[in-house]
């Protein structure tokens, strides 16, 4: 009964008829008042998408984004009250949105933006003290990544496109081909986005799988011969993105 009521109320917010049980002191006002409520919900959800995907809004413009947001809200309304969890399938929605068929990179840019939100809201974990590495056996060392660390393998140069739309961005020539994004929440609570090499991506993914450092480094060298893990490990330590150690 409760589930059916919620379903019909959700359908009404999407444009169907009034849900059962809706009343007003003046019965003639029910339709108008519910329409106001429906519009307020749509506006608030559209604003939430704008905050979560600001670069997409810049790329398509305000008016187009509002139309696209309404279509997405009708197709994929929030499943929980936690709006931070909403929008995970927005990139897939953009891939299938007919008006964006000539701009396939949009979905990858949206994946970056959603991942940044996940990284920002990730659980806290104390950063690894570099001194803990001093006497460690590197061959059998297992390094734990901070919960915010995300590696995204993209089909387009979306990191460069995203970077172009940041404050004080330099409009450098766009690279050709796909990019791999590293996203994390650093010690200053900023959430940078960096394009990384295939070797660095394999190294980080190996650590995320629980491999030893030696095994993760071997995985990196399989995709990028002569890959040196040290620069990437140093940058992870400086960002506070290593959160534990086990031998």
Instruction: Quick: pLDDT tens for 113-156.
Output: 999 999 999 999 999 888 877 766 777 889 999 999 999 999 99
The H-or-E segment that residue 35 falls in is helix 30-52
pLDDT at residue 208 greater than cutoff 90 = yes
Can you read off the two tokens belonging to residue 89? 């399938």
Nearest to 151 by CA among 236, 85, 214: 236
Residue located via tokens 């095994």: 215
Sequence-ordered alpha helix ranges (H) in 121-178: 158-164
* DSSP β-ladder status, 180-183 and 150-153: antiparallel
Confidence of residue 5 (pLDDT cuts 50, 70, 90): very low
Boundaries of every domain in the chain: 1-103, 115-247
Element (H, E) at 74: helix 62-75
User: Is 3.90.930 the CATH classification of the domain at 115-247?
Assistant: yes
Give pTM, 2 decimals: 0.86
């Amino acid at each position: 009964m409760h589930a059916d009521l919620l379903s019909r109320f959700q359908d009404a917010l999407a444009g169907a008829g009034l849900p059962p049980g809706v009343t007003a002191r003046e019965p003639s006002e029910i339709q108008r008042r519910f329409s106001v409520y429906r519009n307020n919900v749509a506006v608030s959800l559209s604003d939430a998408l704008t905050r979560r995907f600001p670069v997409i809004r810049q790329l398509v413009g305000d008016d187009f984004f509002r139309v696209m947001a309404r279509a997405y809200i009708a197709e994929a309304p929030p499943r929980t009250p936690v709006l931070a969890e909403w929008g995970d399938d927005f990139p897939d929605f953009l891939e299938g949105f007919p008006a964006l068929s000539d701009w396939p990179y949009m979905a990858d840019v949206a994946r970056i933006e959603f991942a940044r939100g996940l990284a920002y809201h990730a659980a806290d974990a104390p950063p690894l003290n570099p001194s803990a590495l001093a006497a460690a056996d590197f061959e059998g060392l297992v390094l734990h990544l901070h919960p915010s660390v995300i590696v995204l393998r993209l089909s387009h140069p979306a990191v460069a496109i995203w970077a172009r739309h940041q404050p004080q961005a330099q409009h450098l020539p766009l690279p050709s081909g796909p990019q791999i994004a590293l996203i994390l929440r650093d010690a200053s609570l900023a959430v940078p986005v960096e394009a990384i090499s295939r070797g660095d991506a394999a190294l980080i993914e190996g650590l995320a799988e629980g491999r030893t450092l030696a095994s993760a480094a071997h995985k990196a060298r399989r995709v990028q011969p002569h890959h040196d893990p040290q620069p990437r490990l140093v940058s992870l330590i400086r960002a506070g993105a290593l959160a534990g150690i086990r031998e």
